[in-house]
Chain A
Amino acid sequence: MTTELVFENVTKFYGPVIGVNDVTLRIGLGITGLLGSNGAGKSTLMKLASGRLKPSLGQVRIGPHDARRSAAKRLLGYCPDVNAFYEEMTGREFVLTMTRLYGYRLAEARRRTETALERTGMADRAERRIKGCSHGMRQRIKLAQAIAHDPQVLLLDEPLTGIDPGGRREINDLLRALAGEGLTVLVSSHLLQEVEQLCDRLVVVSSGRILADGTLAELRNLLNDEPLTIRLESPQARRAAALCVELSATSHVEVHGDVVTLRTRDPQDFFTQLNRLVVEHTLEIRRLETLDAGAEAVFGYLQRSAS
């Protein structure tokens, strides 16, 4: 059975400043991305979920337990965003020590440490002192200490920062495998493209409130009023622009050399009309792409609509 991370009407004040405002959220099986700009309340949500902060109002639960209780922390794995370690230790010593703090016997902690290092791709590099490790290696060590005790809920604060593209693929594969094993995974990130590729569900936070919650497609559908930008490359760019401007679904046209940039408020209608146009006028189109259908644009739209 999946262990859920639940926020129930959670509000967090920092003195007179409100960090999180009446958030209700239920995060279950799979990978959920938590998106938000700096100061949006993303980190506060992560700290509340990891039991490091106490909500001013409401409750945060991991399974049936209050997030601040020891029982909840046994179910939780947390990979923090801070780049702090016991620098004098080797990666292996650090993960072993952190695992032993769950109360395992030495042999069991060693076995779990090796498994976690293996899964994070650090097994053959873990004898290096942490202070001599690259940022990517440090991220992997943090991830290893978070999964060594087989948590049911995994919180990852900016886990892909500083990791090279190959490494990102490996970490993404690992997170997908963990989610496949029944884990609840919550990833906060500024790397929106990675979140977009990785997550089954996105939660967008702004000014301490949940702005949107759903799959990327669902979020994009929320934005019917927002124009979609389309980039069209053609040797007949001026002719194509002149024809496109006549289409009812087109709201804006710009031409720069061979490139036509168009905006539409009705993408489905626009593409139908464009298809007809291309056939009727035998327009040569080398490349056609939508510029802002990704998470970045969705996030930007949501931010703008919130403000």
Chain B
Amino acid sequence: MNTLRAFVTLWLLSFHRLFWSIGTPMLLLPLTACAMFLVRRRYGADLDPVMAFHGFSVFLLRVFAPFVTPLCALAFGTASVGGDREDRTLLFLFIRPLPRGLILLAKFLAAWPLVLGFTCGSFWVFCRLAGPPGRAAFDAYLPAVVYMASAYTALFHLFGALFRHSTIAALIYAVFMEVLLGNVPGVIRRVAINYYGRSLMYDAGVEHGLSAPDPQWFDPYPAHDAKLALWTITAGTLAAAWLVFRTREYEEPT
């Protein structure tokens, strides 16, 4: 008997179940809607390349970063642990000799490539559909997208470890914290992951002609600090999820 083999089995099982879950077709709906919008909008047809880049960047900053990225993470991040909790199949894992910390790690490592795949894959498709401004945007914004997707994935694993109905909790978080608070002027927007992601995107877009936002409405965080904040959120929430999952008793009195 070998712990590594058991870990790989669980990773494969989790990856397979997540990929073939209802989350995948549900996610394809908004992604298709975004693609259809881009086909119709035709940013590449704009004669001024700077204006075209600016226009496509606005789509990415207002739609892709605050909606599409958390949605991709939500589809797989919450279902990773939360799906097993809701289906009550977690006990089959808990009675196996794999330590709980490794169970969470296997689940995170199964969800992470799926979230990155769908986020970065859809980002690539959107950039291709946008034409020349999309190609510049892909190179400029990809690191920010990866950072954001990772932070959301870790955060939604924490939700999965904490809440029985983690998808609902994550949806409430995505709508209220990310969309509403992330756009509130002042310090309070710092609770939103997409604030740091968008700060990174603004920083990367400036050299391509993206005009700086009105500081009254959006005051970007310094790029280096935003990157550090996203790393900290990823590592911190993953560590918190690990701690909760390791120590929590997922049982009710009978």
Contacts and interface: CB of A to CB of B under 8 A. Distances in A.
A50 B5 contact: no
A73 B93 CA distance: 11
B10 A101 contact: yes
Q: Is the interface of B mostly helix, strand, loop or mixed?
A: loop
Interface in B33-81: none
A286 to B, nearest CB: 45
Nearest to A104: B1
Interface in B221-254: 249-254
B254 A43 contact: yes
Interface string A80-105: 10101111100000000110111111
Contact of A84 (B13, B89, B95, B96): B89
Interface in A39-65: 39, 42-44, 47, 50-54
Contacts of B94: 50-52
B185 interface: no
**Interface core residue of A43, A78, A80, A103 (most chain B CB under 10 Å):** A103
B26 interface: no
Contact of B6 (A42, A43, A103): A103
A29 B88 CA distance: 31
Contact of A97 (B4, B13, B251, B252): B13
Contact of B98 (A70, A71, A82): A70
Contacts of A105: 5
B213 interface: no
A44 B13 contact: no
Given A70-B98, A101-B96, A82 B254 contact: no
B211 interface: no
A170 B250 CA distance: 33
Contacts of A19: 253
B97 interface: yes
Contact of A103 (B1, B91, B249, B252): B1
The residue in B13, B95, B99 that gathers the most chain A C-beta atoms within 10 A of its C-beta is B95
A82 B98 CA distance: 21
Nearest to B249: A53
A101 B93 contact: yes
B92 interface: yes
A17 B253 contact: yes
A205 B89 CA distance: 27
A64 B9 CA distance: 28
A76 B13 CA distance: 22
Residue from the set A54, A71, A84 with the largest chain B CB neighbour count within 10 Å: A84
A42 to B, nearest CB: 8
Contacts of B6: 100-103
B5 A104 contact: yes
Contacts of A102: 1, 6, 96-97
A74 interface: yes
A100 B87 CA distance: 21
Given A44-B253, A86-B17, A74 B93 contact: no
Which of B17, B20, B97 is most buried by chain A, counting CB atoms within 10 A of its CB?
B97
Interface string A4-41: 00000000001001010000000000000000001100
A47 B250 CA distance: 11
A101 B254 contact: no
Given A76-B95, A82-B88, A102-B1, A97 B253 contact: no
Contact of B251 (A39, A42, A52): A52
Given A53-B251, A98-B92, A103-B2, 5 more contacts: A42-B254, A43-B254, A70-B3, A80-B91, A101-B6
Interface of B: 1-6, 9-10, 13, 17, 20, 87-89, 91-99, 249-254
Interface of A: 14, 17, 19, 38-39, 42-44, 47, 50-54, 70-71, 73-74, 76, 78, 80, 82, 84-88, 97-98, 100-105, 145
19 contacts: A44-B253, A44-B254, A50-B95, A51-B95, A52-B94, A70-B97, A73-B96, A82-B88, A84-B88, A84-B91, A86-B87, A87-B87, A97-B13, A101-B9, A101-B96, A101-B98, A102-B97, A103-B2, A103-B4
